[in-house]
Each structure stands twice: as C-alpha cells, then as structure tokens.
Amino acid sequence: MAERVGVYICHCGSNIAGKVDVEDVSQWAGEELDNVVISRDYEFMCSSLGQELIEDDIKNEGLTRVVVGACSPHLHERTFRKACSNAGLNPYLCQMASLREQVSWVTEDEALATAKSKAMISGAVERVQLHEELEPTEVPVNPHSLVVGGGIAGIQTALELANSGNPVILVEREPSIGGHMAQFDKTFPTLDCSACILTPNMSDVSSHPNITLLSYSEVEEVTGFVGNFHVRIRKKARYVIEEDCTGCGICIEKCPKSVIDEVFEAGIGYRKSIYRPFPQAVPKYPVLDAETCIYFEKGTCKACEKFCPTNAIDFEQKDTFIDIDVGNIILATGYDTFDSRKIPQYGYGRLANVFTSLEFERLCNAAGPTNGHIVLRDGVTTPKSVAIIHCVGSRDTRFNAHCSAVCCMSALKFGHLVIEKTGAEVHSFYTDMRPSFKDYEEFYNRLLEEGMHFTRGRVAEVTEAALQPGEEGKLIIQVEDTLIGRQRRIPVDMVILMTALEPKPDAREVGLKFGISCSMAGWFTERHPKLDPVATMTDGIFIAGACQGPKDIPASVSQGAAAAARVLGMIMKGAVEIEPIVATIHEERCSGCRICNTLCPFNAIDYLEDKMVSVINQALCKGCGTCVAACPAQAITGAHYSNEQIFAEIEGLLFDVVQGNGAKPVVEEPEAVPA
C-alpha cells in the first residue's frame, strides 16, 4: 500500500521564507511528488499551532509519513517526532529537511535556494517512505555512582551524591584526595586559606557512610552501558595494611630515606620513602614508595616495620583488583601544568631563581618546605623584587592556543602575598588582564592600590647577562612595554612563571577507556558547550572540573555539583531510554574478520571467540555508523540509515537528473548488429 506523506514547509519567520519561495516549494511537492497527499507551508512549524497542524492531519487525513522542511534536526527533530507520537504515529516515521541551515542561510540566489529546497524535500519524501517503526528500549539505572578523581570537583560531586543518600565510590590515583587545591596557599580573590576550606570537605569524604574511598587506585577497565557499568579498579600496593594502620606516623618519622617530593611539593621539598603527601591527607594511611625504599633496593632496613606499633607494614603486598557495578560515572580527573623548560629563554631549570607558579604556591604555603617564607632558591635570601610572567605556555600557538583562565588571578594573588610578606617590588608582565568573575576586578584594583607594577607585553627573555649598572647579580626581564611602545630591561631577584593549565598527559587514553572523546588539545568534550557542559556524548559518563577545560575553584565546584545533579536525575527516574537508532551485526553474514573491533568510539563491539562473530551491545551503540561503513561483508546495518533509505534519499535529491529508479546508461551504444 502506498504511503500517505504529509509535507510541511516552515517559513521560520523570514529565516527561510526570505530566501526560499516556500509557497512554491509546498505547492510543487503536493503536485509533483508521488504519494504526497498534503503539502502545506506555515509561518512557524515549531509553534504549538504548527505542531497541531501535523497532529490534525495525521488524525484526519490518515498520514503515514511526515516530512518537515524547517531548521536542522539538531534543533527540532524531537519536537516534530513528539507531534507525530501525540497523534499516534511512530515518531521515527518523521523526516526533517534542513531548509534553513543547509539552504536559506547558505545560498545567495533566491531561485537556486528554491530549487535546492525542492531537491531536499524530494530526498526526504523518498527516504521517509522507507522508514521503519522503531521503539526505544528502557534499562534500569544502578543507583551506585563512580567518581574518578578526588580533587575539589570530584569531592564536590561525591559529597552531593552521598548527601542525597546514594552510594558513591571515589577513586583517586594519588595517595590522598585533595588535588591541586591542597597544594595552594591562599585562594583568590578572598584570600581564604586553601587548606582550611578544603580539609573539612576531605574529612567529610573520609567519614561519609555513603562514600567508599579508594585512594592510590586507578580504573583499569570499564564495560557495560548507561545505568549498568562494570568497572575494574586496580588498588595499587601501598605496603601498608589499611585495616591495621592507625595513621600514627611513626613509620614516616623513623624512615631513614628522604627523597625529593616531585608531586605534592612540586620538587622544592622532601618527603620520606614511606609518606603521606601532607599532614591532613585523606585517607590517613601512608604509602610506601617501593622505587626509593632502602629495603626494596638493598634488602635490609625495614625500620618502618620494626617501629610500627600495629604491625601494619606488609612488604609482600601486591596490587589488588576490585570489581564494582555502577549506574553512572563522573570523570573529574583535573589538569597538569605546562613544562616551563619548553621555553628555554625564560631560564627555568637553568636560572636558579626562576620558579613555576606551583613551586611558588608551596613556597608561600605555611605548611610548605620554607614554612611560608618567600625566599630565593638558596633558602635564606628574601627577594627585594619579583617578576611575574603571565601566559607561559598559554595563548601561545607553539604550545597551547587556549587561555588558562586562572593565571591572571593567581598572579594577582601572588603579588599580594609577596607584598604582604616581603614588601618587595612586584612586576607583572601580562598579555591582557582577565579578572572576569565576581569580585575579581575589585581584587585587581586592590593590587593596583597596593603598588604592584603592571607591564603589558610578552617577555622576550629572562637573562643573567648584565648590560647596565644595577643589573649585576640580578635576573633581567627583557620586554617590550606595548603600552608605551618601548623596550625595557627590569632587573629582579625572583621570577615566577604562570604556567599554563594543560590536559593530563593520559587524557586521551582515559577518554578511550570511558568511551568519550577529547578536543584537539586533549580536554574532554562535553555534549554541548553551552547547554550541556557536564554530560558527554556517552550516556552515563559525565565530566566535571578542569578535565573539561581550564577553570578556577568556584567553576570546578559548580560543575561537580551540576554533574551530581544530572546523575541524581537519572537515579531518581530509575530507568533510561535507549535510542533505537543503533547498528546490528547480522551473525549469519559476519565471518569474524574483526575489522570493526577497534573502530567503535563507544566500545560497543565485542568479539565472541566461541562463535567467531562480532556483536554490538545496543545499549552502548550511538548509531554513528562507523562500523556500518567499515564492514567489508556488509554484515552490519544501521537502523534508520539503511542502504535503501540512503539511496532513496540520493535519488530523491537528484529528481531532476534521474528518471525513476533506473540508472542512465553511462554511454549510448549503437544498436546491436546481428551476428
């Protein structure tokens, strides 16, 4: 039986009608296209009146297919599908033609735009007649959640979820949660003590009945799909039996081996081989670093074991694996800082008194290696002048095109701390001053009043080579002051490099593990940059904090809370609908060649060794079509994108070239001559 197709052409105000003769297109479709029984044009199809037009026609005229020529399906496909299902028509029997984004907005000539619209409508009409009814499936959501990363964003997410009464597993790679915020001295612009506002939340995490904290652990493998993930976690050997350890710290005190702490102290302080990164670490259990431990190196020592009052040291401990099931996963894996050695002219690593911003955080932190005294690398001399260089590795296309968002404010904070603690002269060398959020501009004004000097210009070089009197023994900043248009040389005692925030070096690997993608730079990609910033293209996987892009503490906390709210929404609903536009492998045609196995961006394809065929987990499949295109045996079909549907659309688009279904002969041959 022939389908009864309704065609609706939207004016979109003047967006479409200003360029396309919509009345002509609508009339033409009604008269010329086979099986079109109704064709209308309307001012705003997406309005409730426009939708009612479709609903009434389905009911009164018995439409079996609907074509809407309007905007991009990204915007209103859901609207028109819903209108169809309101009238009892399967929503997947509706097709949109993008007459706005693909025609009126991008075509100069009105006649051409009208002709192109006809082709688009013809393609949609041909295609929609081959559409099949599809039904979404529902799967239950496991109320347990996994949070990966125990920085401030991950802590916030875990607490929000746990406080709402839902169980959370928090996995942290380092020995303690706290992240970068635990390293900072003060926070801008309020100058709160960073540790003082963070540690209460850290201890809440450790004592919360709904939170299982797995520190010094990493996610090994993720399988399953939204609502039903299976996660394998590697708990790295601490060599400390957590059940027996009281956290008294005697082992740390007695350990004879000191090593440079490259992580928490940013390389300017020491820790023992058995250590807690900082006194308020959560959990309290220390970690024994086997790579530097004397016992692991030489076979003797065991001082920690001898002095441990509860026999909690276990040199034989091995990595263990924990398998958990969760419904949703939030990645809050944070950022890394730029390696300043990549800009040799700034002298980091070569000139002693050039510091990175993270080193300086530890330097002025009261709990840091100098007890908060701002001193030069010699450990005693207080600087009389300090230069702060902005945008080191940021806004620099050689390294990172992006602005790291937090450095301007950190630099102002550093300026304030230097002035307050040492009275030194402070010079800031900035590209643009960007104190963008609440109370930030006020903080900038405060530093102007406190006498911090600001020079707009990108520093060319930091050098020891004195050229002028007064430069001897100093670090000289060579810079063009772009506001006065002159080269300047400014001698200082100390230089702080405001290093860029960069994605974690293994971000791509981690993304692949969880089935989400990264931007070119390596930040995790959100589902929508404006309207869905904490969801990802993989259902059930959310992102929060700086793993999505550089951001400061309040923004990270907001994202952590937002991600928790999204997850709570899923938990409250109890079930998720799975889109039926998915790919299927037809077992009888699959020879198990395994071409498709590594291609799926959502890890939806498994290979069954026993049957020697590949299968698609339809709950994970997003219907992207990658495997459908790649399958050499055409054993994979994509629902809603079958060959027949696509070829029909192409033939419809070429309605003025191709007659019927027969292909034109490539070249006319003369009549056959009898033999």
Partner 1 sequence: MSEKGVLALYWAASCGGCEIAVLGINEKILDVAAAFDIVFWPCVLDGKVRDIEKMDDKSIDLCFFNGAIRTSEQEYMARLMRQKSKVLVAFGSCAQEGCIPGLANATTKEAIFQTAYHDTPSTVNPDGIRPQTETEVAEGTLYLPFFYETVKTLGQTVDVDYYLPGCPPEPERIWDAIVAILENKLPAPGSVIGAETTVCDDCPRTRDEKKIKEFKRTWEIVPDPDICLLEQGLVCCGIATRAGCGALCPTVGSPCIGCYGPNEGVEDFGARMMTALASVIDSDDPEEIDRIIHEGIPDPIGTFYRFSLAHSELRRIALPANGGSDAKLETAESA
Report strand pairing: 385-392 vs 494-499: parallel
For 21, the token pair is 């003769």
For 624, the token pair is 């992207």
Minimum CB distance to partner 1, residue 607 (Å): 8
From the list 3-11, 92-100, 372-380, 632-640, the region that binds partner 1 by CB under 8 A is 632-640
Among 287, 308, 590, 621, binds partner 1 (CB under 8 A): 590
What size, in residues, is the chain? Answer: 675
Minimum CB distance to partner 1, residue 643 (Å): 7
Would you count residue 625 as binding partner 1 (CB under 8 A)?
Answer: no
Minimum CB distance to partner 1, residue 449 (Å): 51
**Within a 13 Å sphere around the CA of 217, how many CA atoms are in the beta-carbon half?**
26
Cβ proximity to partner 1: between 521 and 630 the closer is: 630
Would you count residue 634 as binding partner 1 (CB under 8 A)?
Answer: yes
From the list 111-119, 391-399, 431-439, 661-669, the region that binds partner 1 by CB under 8 A is 661-669
For 609, the token pair is 């060794």
Would you count residue 468 as binding partner 1 (CB under 8 A)?
Answer: no
Q: Within 10 Å of residue 60's Cβ, how many Cβ atoms?
A: 10
Q: Which long-range contacts (CB under 8 A, 24 or more apart) does 52-58 make?
A: 52/83, 53/8, 54/6, 54/8, 54/80, 54/83, 54/84, 54/87, 55/83, 55/86, 55/87, 56/87, 57/6, 58/6, 58/84, 58/87, 58/88, 58/89
Would you count residue 630 as binding partner 1 (CB under 8 A)?
Answer: yes
Q: Do 392 and 500 contact (CB within 8 A), yes or no?
A: yes
Would you count residue 667 as binding partner 1 (CB under 8 A)?
Answer: yes
Which residues lie across from 355 on neighbouring strands? 496
Separation CA 668–CA 326 (nearest Å): 65
For 288, the token pair is 């024994």
For 263, the token pair is 């992580």
Cβ proximity to partner 1: between 469 and 662 the closer is: 662
Residue that is written with structure tokens 């196995």 in the block = 597
Residues in contact with partner 1, counted by CB under 8 A, come to a total of 32
From the list 72-80, 346-354, 463-471, 597-605, the region that binds partner 1 by CB under 8 A is 597-605
DSSP-based three-state secondary structure for 284: coil
Minimum CB distance to partner 1, residue 224 (Å): 20
Would you count residue 598 as binding partner 1 (CB under 8 A)?
Answer: yes
Query: Which of 401, 282, 335 lies closest to 552, judged by CA?
Result: 335
For 633, the token pair is 């045996």
Would you count residue 669 as binding partner 1 (CB under 8 A)?
Answer: yes
From the list 2-10, 115-123, 343-351, 622-630, the region that binds partner 1 by CB under 8 A is 622-630
Minimum CB distance to partner 1, residue 660 (Å): 16
Minimum CB distance to partner 1, residue 129 (Å): 20
Would you count residue 632 as binding partner 1 (CB under 8 A)?
Answer: yes
Among 384, 643, 654, 656, binds partner 1 (CB under 8 A): 643
Would you count residue 666 as binding partner 1 (CB under 8 A)?
Answer: yes
Among 308, 635, 648, 653, binds partner 1 (CB under 8 A): 635
Q: Do 502 and 393 contact (CB within 8 A), yes or no?
A: yes
Among 194, 292, 400, 626, binds partner 1 (CB under 8 A): 626
Q: Do 477 and 457 contact (CB within 8 A), yes or no?
A: no
Q: Do 31 and 61 contact (CB within 8 A), yes or no?
A: no
Would you count residue 629 as binding partner 1 (CB under 8 A)?
Answer: yes
Cβ proximity to partner 1: between 191 and 593 the closer is: 593
From the list 157-165, 281-289, 372-380, 587-595, the region that binds partner 1 by CB under 8 A is 587-595
Radius of gyration of the chain (CA): 32
Cβ proximity to partner 1: between 598 and 661 the closer is: 598
Cβ proximity to partner 1: between 44 and 607 the closer is: 607
Cβ proximity to partner 1: between 479 and 621 the closer is: 621
From the list 131-139, 150-158, 248-256, 666-674, the region that binds partner 1 by CB under 8 A is 666-674
Which residues lie across from 94 on neighbouring strands? 66
Among 572, 599, 608, 654, binds partner 1 (CB under 8 A): 599
Q: Name the phi and psi angles at 38, rounded to 5.
A: -140, 135
Minimum CB distance to partner 1, residue 591 (Å): 4
Burial (Cβ within 10 Å: 0-12, 13-18, ≥19) of residue 351: middle
Among 584, 633, 640, 641, binds partner 1 (CB under 8 A): 633
Cβ proximity to partner 1: between 366 and 654 the closer is: 654
Minimum CB distance to partner 1, residue 675 (Å): 4
Q: What's CA 664's distance to the chain center, in Å?
A: 49
From the list 98-106, 248-256, 448-456, 588-596, the region that binds partner 1 by CB under 8 A is 588-596
From the list 187-195, 239-247, 478-486, 591-599, the region that binds partner 1 by CB under 8 A is 591-599
Would you count residue 597 as binding partner 1 (CB under 8 A)?
Answer: yes
Would you count residue 520 as binding partner 1 (CB under 8 A)?
Answer: no
For residue 555, give Cα distances in angstroms to 156, 196, 439, 498.
11, 19, 14, 20
For 244, the token pair is 């027996």
For 494, the token pair is 């100390």
Would you count residue 674 as binding partner 1 (CB under 8 A)?
Answer: yes
Would you count residue 595 as binding partner 1 (CB under 8 A)?
Answer: yes
Q: Which long-range contacts (CB under 8 A, 24 or more apart) does 515-519 make?
A: 515/222, 515/541, 515/601, 515/602, 515/603, 515/620, 516/331, 516/541, 516/543, 517/601
Would you count residue 645 as binding partner 1 (CB under 8 A)?
Answer: no
Report strand pairing: 5-10 vs 186-187: unpaired
Would you count residue 316 as binding partner 1 (CB under 8 A)?
Answer: no
Minimum CB distance to partner 1, residue 641 (Å): 14
DSSP-based three-state secondary structure for 495: strand
Which spans of this chain sit near partner 1 (rule: CB under 8 A)? 588-599, 607, 612, 626, 629-635, 643, 666-667, 669-675
